[in-house]
């Protein structure tokens, strides 16, 4: 998911250019570095909170 989102965002900013692929890969590494810890640490908390809200 982060791969596609960063690709679309990079394409919208730079257009299709020789630099686009290099910038896309750099953007993807940064977005993955943010998304992975968020998924591992924040999502369980969000899931528990939503379970409590939904059960009521």
Which two structure tokens, joined as six digits, stand for 40? 């591992």
- Label each residue of 35-46 as H, E or C: HHHHHHHHHHHH
Residue 52: pLDDT band by 50, 70, 90 thresholds? very high
pLDDT tens digits for 3-51? 888 888 888 888 888 888 888 888 889 988 998 998 899 999 999 999 9
Instruction: Provide the pLDDT for residue 48.
Output: 93
Instruction: Provide the pLDDT for residue 54.
Output: 92
- Segments making up each domain of the chain, as ranges: 2-55
Instruction: Provide the pLDDT for residue 49.
Output: 94
């Amino acid at each position: 998911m982060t791969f596609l989102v960063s690709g679309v965002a990079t394409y919208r900013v730079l257009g299709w250019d020789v630099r686009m692929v290099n910038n896309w890969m750099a953007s993807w590494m940064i977005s993955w570095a943010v998304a992975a810890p968020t998924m591992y640490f924040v999502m369980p908390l969000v899931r528990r909170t939503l379970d409590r809200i939904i059960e009521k």
